[in-house]
Amino acid sequence: MTRRFFFIIACVFLFTFSLFSPAQAVDDLESGAALVVELMDLLHEYHLNNPDATVLTEGAIQGLLDSLEDPYADYFSDEEFKGFTDALNGDLVGVGIEVVPGEQYPQVLSVIPGTPAEKSGIKAGDVIRAVDGQSISGWSLDDAVSKIRGTAGSKVILTIMRGNDIFSISLLRADIHVPSVRHEMLPGNTGYIHLAAFSSTSSQEFNDALHKLRAAGMESLILDLRNNGGGYLDGAVGILGNFVAEDTLAVSILDGQGHREEIRTLEPATADAPPMVVLVNKYSASASELLAGALRDYKIATLVGDVTYGKGVVQTILPLSSGGALKLTVSKYLTPAGNDIDQVGLIPDHYVLTTELQREVAWQILHPEEVPDIVLEPGTGRAVLNGRALGNILKIEKQDNSYALPLRPVLEAMLYQVFWQDGLIIVFSGQQEVWRNRPIVGKRSDRSDVFVQDGISYLSENLLKQLNIDIVKEENKITLTRKI
Residues 363, 352: Cα–Cα separation, whole Å:
13
Alpha helices in 91-229 (DSSP H): 116-120, 141-148, 202-215
Q: Is 286 a catalytic residue?
A: yes
Report which of 261, 352, 369 is spatially closest to residue 307, judged by C-alpha positions. Answer: 352
Q: DSSP characters for 14-62? A: -EEE---PPPPPPHHHHHHHHHHHHHHHHHHHH-TT---HHHHHHHHHH
Q: Is 311 a catalytic residue?
A: yes
- Distant-in-sequence, close-in-space partners of 116: CB < 8 Å, separation ≥ 6: 95, 96, 171, 172, 173, 174
Catalytic site residue from 70, 91, 132, 297 = 297
Residues 193, 187: Cα–Cα separation, whole Å:
14
Residues 122, 111: Cα–Cα separation, whole Å:
7
Beta strands at 313-319 and 15-17: parallel, antiparallel or unpaired = parallel
Catalytic site residue from 199, 311, 457, 460 = 311
- The neighbour count for residue 351, using CB atoms within 10 Å, is 19
- The neighbour count for residue 297, using CB atoms within 10 Å, is 15
- Distant-in-sequence, close-in-space partners of 459: CB < 8 Å, separation ≥ 6: 404, 405, 406, 407, 410, 411, 449, 450
364, 117 Cβ separation under 8 angstroms: no
Residues 264, 74: Cα–Cα separation, whole Å:
29
The beta-strand segments (E) located in 320-372 are 325-334, 350-351
Residues 326, 197: Cα–Cα separation, whole Å:
21
Residues 437, 425: Cα–Cα separation, whole Å:
6
Rg (CA), the chain: 26
Beta strands at 301-305 and 220-224: parallel, antiparallel or unpaired = unpaired
Catalytic site residue from 286, 331, 448, 457 = 286
Residues 308, 229: Cα–Cα separation, whole Å:
10
Report which of 84, 62, 83 is spatially closest to residue 73, judged by C-alpha positions. Answer: 62
As annotated, the active-site residues are: 286, 297, 311
